[in-house]
A and B are shown apart, each in its own frame.
Chain A
Amino acid sequence: MTTLENGSGTGAASPGPGTTPPKASRPAKPRRRSRHNREENRAGLFLISPTFIIILVAVVLPIIWAISLAFQDVRLINIRGTGIIGEYTLDNFVDVLTSPGFFSALWTTIVYSVCGTALAIGVGLIAALALRKPFRGRGLVRASLLLPYVAPVVAATFVWSTMLNPQFGIVNWFGQNVLGWEDPVAFLSDRALPVNIFGWEVDLPIALITVILFEGWRSFPFAFLFLTARLEAVPGVLDEAARVDGATPTQRFRHILLPQLLPTIAVLCVLRFIWTFNNFDDIYLLTGGGAGTEVVSVRVFDLLTARGDIGAAAAQALVLAAILAVLVGIYLKFFGKQEEQA
């Protein structure tokens, strides 16, 4: 088990024992041991430093600078003269929080992330269960199901918007000629679509639903992949024993498989939520943030490029990151313990 001890880097416990005991027992240890440690320390620092420097220069310093920019009145026009030090002010944050549309954008972001995550994991789970038993061509089917995830997002959004096009899109053609729709539906540019469900007149937020469906389509393969890997690790004996005891398929899923899958599902929820929450590409490319699909990251982009208001863009991005950190923190606080138990 030496590999385990030396292996995990973020695993909180392992580096601790490696570094502290020699210090505590220094007098007892022979000289050679500490020289070896020093040499290892130097080699480690030397090997990690290129990555560390790149991340410091291209990620850490920019983020510190973004925080500084968020507290200054900086616009693209007066950008030449600005640095880390400037006149700090809270105006950007006040503007962001009081600006019209911020809270609706935040709400849209949350709805989009929650529904997109749930859809992706739900479909991914169904796919993983359906493909559990081997059959001819399963490998090819499995690989094909991963296509939406690996394909470039620009091509995927472009095909979707062509398929959903009101004039010559295949979906509207099908709807009008086969399903008998009266008018073509502008899936990506209509804010609301009045629909009659059992006599109830309901306004469906059609553009928002479409981008959520796109998110589900694009990321279900990710959940499918994780859940398939986990399913393969479930011992077959458990399932077999339950079958012998007369448990039906749904009972076996509920009492045998689901408890085994829950930790994976929980991790997937966190990962997918974080990425969907931060997502910019999909919505920018599908709707440009119009028709009730404006999420916070698209607002940041517009502030930055269209209005050139750098300070406000930085402040808004910071607010986004902070809200995400709080949401994930709350989740981990309440569900993190259960995950470990499960």
Chain B
Amino acid sequence: MSAQTTTVRSTTRAPRRGMTRDSFENGLFRILRPIVIVLLLLVAVVPFYYMVLLSFRSLDSLVQNPGALWITIQELDFSTYLKVLAPVDAGGQGFIVFMRNSLLVALATVVLTLAVSIPGSYAVSRLAFFGRRQVSALFLAVYFFPAILLAVPLFVFFTQIGLRGSLVGLLLVYVSQVAAVSIYTLRNYFATIPVSLEEAAALDGASRFQIMRKVSIPLAMPAIVSNGLFIFMIAWNEFLFALLFLIEKRDSWTVSLGLSQLSGSIEVPTTVLMAGSVILTLPIILLFFASERLLVGGLTAGAEKG
């Protein structure tokens, strides 16, 4: 601090006025910074806090006192969770089934996408093959295409072959949507692995596929894991294609679709659906905080397509 003031004083260009402006700005930002941070934090977190809060309240207490921002122990009401999870026969909303569907689709998407995109990205990053540049450009273009344009023919196609309502059809669409992103991020990671390591293995007599399996893929593991988590999040959160393909068959609804369909109806109380929102959001938030450091790389590389 003292060093700074002496340098400022010694410069000929900065007389008293410049110094006051500097200290004024420094003081201003010293006050503003924590305020801005707290505000941003509130804006980002309060909706989720509100979601959890409402999920534990009964509808009566919400309507009577909408402004309450906390809840007493006596008011705690866990019945919302039971109602939203219980099967439809038992008077619930059947979210257990929706969660199973979401989990199945998301896990299968991760496995299938990684199975095709690891070899694919390795090829794009390491091997000079005919049409490599065109294929890369095609994958990148897929990434920016409006999902709604794709929705029209897929809707027609699945209607024609009677695959509407099937999770398999949805899975195929998800894989095709995220494979491009996955190849793109993994390719960038493979590019950072020194070729000399692979050349050394080749000199030892390893074949191309042995090198891939024993050298390149183990080295790329951090990227593969973060990519897998990222794909899981996209598939779990996806809404448009689930809406188009599954809407007629309640048994195949994903959690996202279930929540959106039931939130419009008057019969299901808002607080019960808030419990559904928590159930939809919680796995993602847990996953995110558990692997935040790994995931952030995947987030910046990929985005929200899916």
Q: Do A and B come from one complex?
A: yes
Pick from B25, B154, B208: contact of A43, CB under 8 Å? B208
Q: Tell me the B186-241 residues at the A interface (CB within 8 Å).
A: 187, 190-196, 208, 233, 236-237, 239-240
Q: Say yes or no: is A337 at the interface (Cβ < 8 Å to chain B).
A: no
B179 A152 Cβ-Cβ under 8 A? no
A76 B159 Cβ-Cβ under 8 A? yes
Pick from B47, B132, B260: contact of A285, CB under 8 Å? B260
CA distance A57 to B150 in the complex (A): 12
Asked whether A152 and B195 contact (CB < 8 A) given A51-B120, A244-B7, the answer is: no
Q: Say yes or no: is B183 at the interface (Cβ < 8 Å to chain A).
A: yes
A250 B33 Cβ-Cβ under 8 A? no
Pick from A9, A301, A304: contact of B136, CB under 8 Å? A9
Least CB distance from A26 to B in Å reads 15
What bracket does the count of chain B residues touching chain A fall in? 35 or more
* Binary interface encoding of chain B residues 7-34 relative to chain A, with 1 for a CB under 8 A from any of its CBs, else 0: 1100101100011011001100100010
Q: Say yes or no: is A278 at the interface (Cβ < 8 Å to chain B).
A: yes
B149 A152 Cβ-Cβ under 8 A? no
Asked whether A297 and B146 contact (CB < 8 A) given A155-B259, A271-B303, the answer is: yes
CA distance A25 to B156 in the complex (A): 51
* Binary interface encoding of chain B residues 269-306 relative to chain A, with 1 for a CB under 8 A from any of its CBs, else 0: 01001100110110011001100100010011001110
Q: Tell me the A285-342 residues at the B interface (CB within 8 Å).
A: 285, 297, 300-301, 304-305, 310, 313-314, 317-318, 320-321, 324
| A contact set with B: CB distance below 8 Å | 2-4, 6-10, 12, 15-16, 18-19, 37, 39-48, 50-52, 54-55, 57-60, 62-63, 65-66, 69, 74, 76, 79-80, 82, 123, 126-127, 130-131, 133, 139, 141, 143-156, 158-163, 165, 167-170, 173-174, 177, 217, 221-222, 225-226, 229, 243-246, 248-250, 271, 274-275, 277-278, 280-281, 285, 297, 300-301, 304-305, 310, 313-314, 317-318, 320-321, 324
Pick from A47, A158, A281: contact of B123, CB under 8 Å? A47
A58-B175, A144-B45 known, 19 other contacts, Cβ within 8 Å: A41-B128, A43-B129, A55-B179, A58-B173, A76-B159, A131-B37, A150-B284, A151-B284, A159-B274, A168-B62, A168-B66, A173-B67, A177-B67, A222-B304, A248-B22, A275-B303, A281-B239, A301-B148, A304-B151
Q: Identify the closest chain B residue to A282 (Cβ).
A: B239
* Binary interface encoding of chain B residues 22-63 relative to chain A, with 1 for a CB under 8 A from any of its CBs, else 0: 100110010001001100110111011011001000000011
Q: Say yes or no: is B71 at the interface (Cβ < 8 Å to chain A).
A: no
Classify the secondary structure of B's interface with A. Answer: helix
Pick from B26, B190, B277: contact of A249, CB under 8 Å? B26
Q: Identify the closest chain A residue to B207 (Cβ).
A: A43
Q: Tell me the B132-180 residues at the A interface (CB within 8 Å).
A: 132-133, 135-140, 142, 144-157, 159-160, 172-173, 175-177, 179-180
CA distance A243 to B36 in the complex (A): 23
B50 A163 Cβ-Cβ under 8 A? yes
Residues of A contacting B148 in the complex (Cβ-Cβ under 8 angstroms): 278, 280, 297, 300-301, 317, 320
What are 11 residue pairs bridging A and B, where the CB atoms are less than 8 Å apart in the complex? A46-B123, A59-B142, A59-B145, A65-B153, A147-B48, A154-B260, A158-B263, A161-B263, A170-B50, A249-B26, A285-B260
B303 A162 Cβ-Cβ under 8 A? no
* Nearest 4 interchain pairs by C-beta: A44-B129, A7-B191, A58-B176, A44-B127
A55 B138 Cβ-Cβ under 8 A? yes
Asked whether A243 and B4 contact (CB < 8 A) given A127-B40, A225-B300, A278-B146, the answer is: yes
